[in-house]
Amino acid sequence: MNAQDRLGQRAITCFKAYDVRGELGKNLDPDVAYRIGRAFAEARQAKRVVVGRDSRASSPELAKALIEGLTDGGTDVLDLGLAGTEEVYFHTGFQDTDGGIEVTASHNPINYNGMKIVGRGSAPLDPATELPPIVELAQSGEFTPVAKKGSVTDYRHARADYASAMADFVDVAALKPMKILVNAGNGTAGPTFDAIAAELERRGAPLTFVRMHHDVDSSFPNGIPNPLLPENQPRTSDAVRAEGADLGVAWDGDFDRCFFFDDKGDFIPGEYIVGLLGAAFLEKSPGEKVVHDPRVIMNTRAMIGEAGGEAVVSKTGHAFIKRKMRDVGAIYGGEMSAHHYFRDFYYCDSGMIPWLLVVELLARKGKTLAELLSERMRLYPSSGETNYELADPDASIQRVIATLGDKANSRDDLDGVSLDFGKWRFNLRKSNTEPVVRLNVEADGDPALVAEKQAELAALLKG
């Protein structure tokens, strides 16, 4: 295999189900990034594209190569520089461009990077029809010559437009004095949060912020920012308690996910935030549709139903959730992994809009987050997502199905396999991006049943 063929092979293996994720020096490097930019320009016939990058040490070089590929393909680039994924989404729609690309590996290990890619209107690319032409061109490297190289516009000043749009999601007049601890994890969130906080202050919001791990640091001295991992949560929990904060908020590396801690410092699992935000939207807009993923559903469906809305299930993953929301016109969508999607934000996910909405909700209700959700968590306990590294994931999943499938009241294969037994249910699925099987168990008001069934399923998976 010659050098060009090896480069093409690296390019094709870094494409995943709906984005790019690769190991640096193995299947992702500046040469591959260049090919992806060049392929996007040609396959999409893109005139203007927004590009941003996260805070990883490898991101500036990859973004530079990506931009070079785009401009060599005749595409003009609006370069946001250091920016969150949702800033790329926002400007792709707001500036009416042909697409947007964020260089990021989100919460993956330090030796990884990747790209999140959207088309016009910040719509996800269809993995069956729109992504393959880009993959094929990136692999072949056989690009059509263009008459004129594209230009690059430094667009870092445009953050003010984004910050203003974020502040528009909250009714400042409804807010009450509140102390909020925010943990950026030394990722990309810090500068963007500061812009939003400044805009809120300009509008008179009575909020006080305590910043933690706020400076951007590509060495991630406090670890890769991924608040979903239980071992990463105590730092934020302890800080909330130490500061006497009313609320804690933490973000992942590119801040398209945000995570909540109540005033006691307790971490709130993402599925309960989905139900809470869905019900809040329905209070203002009765009868709307809310999209959710199939992993943990009992509380979400109950809250949506009680609020007079219609719950619509979608396969897990941002491309699938966004497409389903567009198909049904949903006002909001959420995943238990702390991705939250909004119709008024180009049907995209945001890590900044959720905390703004929660702060307003707490003010309107006059309650703490613990007071709003403790009863919901008691009514519908869940295990949290458990990952299992297995020698033969398919065989392990089939063993579970063979043992329990006939005993279930219903089975759903939308995303992995979900078996419902009335008083309890589980979802079991292979990861799209990691070599693991993910298990979620939930029950109707019985935490002991959750623990019992989780242990039973773990034993079956391990054989």
**CATH code of residue 344:** 3.40.120.10
As a whole number of Å, the end-to-end CA separation of the chain is 41
- Tell me: do 317 and 405 sit in the same domain: no
Neighbouring C-beta atoms of residue 312, cutoff 10 Å: 16
- Extract the tokens encoding 370: 């613990």
Q: Three-state SS for 450?
A: helix
pLDDT of residue 283 exceeding 70, the answer is yes
Question: Each residue of 179-226: pLDDT tens digit?
Answer: 999 999 999 999 999 999 999 999 999 999 999 999 999 999 999 999
Mean pLDDT of 341-364: 98
**Residue 377 resides in a domain:** no
- Extract the tokens encoding 240: 């909330």
- Tell me: do 436 and 328 sit in the same domain: no
- Tell me: do 225 and 303 sit in the same domain: no
**Residue 358 resides in a domain:** no
Percentage of the chain exceeding pLDDT 90? 92
Q: How far is the CA of 202 from the CAs of 163, 167, 181, 277, 304, in angstroms?
A: 11, 10, 20, 26, 35
Determine the angle formed by the axes of helices 353-365 and 369-379, rounding to 10 degrees.
100
Percentage of the chain exceeding pLDDT 70? 98
Give the pLDDT score at 113. 97
Give the pLDDT score at 244. 98
- Tell me: do 95 and 149 sit in the same domain: yes
Q: How confident is the model at residue 150 (pLDDT cuts 50, 70, 90)?
A: very high
Give the pLDDT score at 170. 97
Mean pLDDT of 362-376: 98
- Tell me: do 20 and 108 sit in the same domain: yes
Kind plus residue range of the DSSP H or E element containing 418:
strand 417-420
Q: Three-state SS for 65?
A: helix
Range scoring the smallest mean pLDDT among 168-177, 211-220, 425-434, 451-460:
425-434
- Tell me: do 142 and 218 sit in the same domain: no
Q: How many structural domains does the chain have?
A: 4
Give the pLDDT score at 10. 73
Which residue range is the domain that position 201 belongs to?
Answer: 175-267
Q: How far is the CA of 260 from the CAs of 87, 248, 273, in angstroms?
A: 21, 6, 8
**Residue 57 resides in a domain:** yes
- Tell me: do 93 and 144 sit in the same domain: yes
pLDDT of residue 1 exceeding 80, the answer is no
- Tell me: do 117 and 89 sit in the same domain: yes
**Residue 139 resides in a domain:** yes
**Separation between Cα atoms, residue 71 and residue 151, nearest integer Å:** 6
Please give the positions annotated as active site.
Answer: 106
- Tell me: do 45 and 154 sit in the same domain: yes
pLDDT higher at 431 or 213: 213
Mean pLDDT of 143-158: 96
- Tell me: do 254 and 343 sit in the same domain: no
pLDDT of residue 433 exceeding 60, the answer is no
pLDDT of residue 7 exceeding 80, the answer is no
- Tell me: do 146 and 26 sit in the same domain: yes
- Tell me: do 284 and 411 sit in the same domain: no
For the chain, the average pLDDT equals 95
Q: Three-state SS for 39?
A: helix
Mean pLDDT of 326-341: 97
**Residue 135 resides in a domain:** yes
- Extract the tokens encoding 443: 């029950």
**Residue 169 resides in a domain:** no
**Residue 216 resides in a domain:** yes
| Boundary-marking domain end, from 267, 287, 303 | 267
Neighbouring C-beta atoms of residue 335, cutoff 10 Å: 25
Give the pLDDT score at 376. 97
Lookup result for tokens 């590509």: 218
- Extract the tokens encoding 378: 């008691």
What are the backbone angles phi and psi of residue 117, rounded to the nearest 5°?
-125, 135
Mean pLDDT of 446-453: 98
| Boundary-marking domain end, from 267, 290, 309 | 267
- Residue 402 belongs to a domain with what CATH number? 3.30.310.50
**Residue 166 resides in a domain:** no
Determine the angle formed by the axes of helices 353-365 and 159-167, rounding to 10 degrees.
30
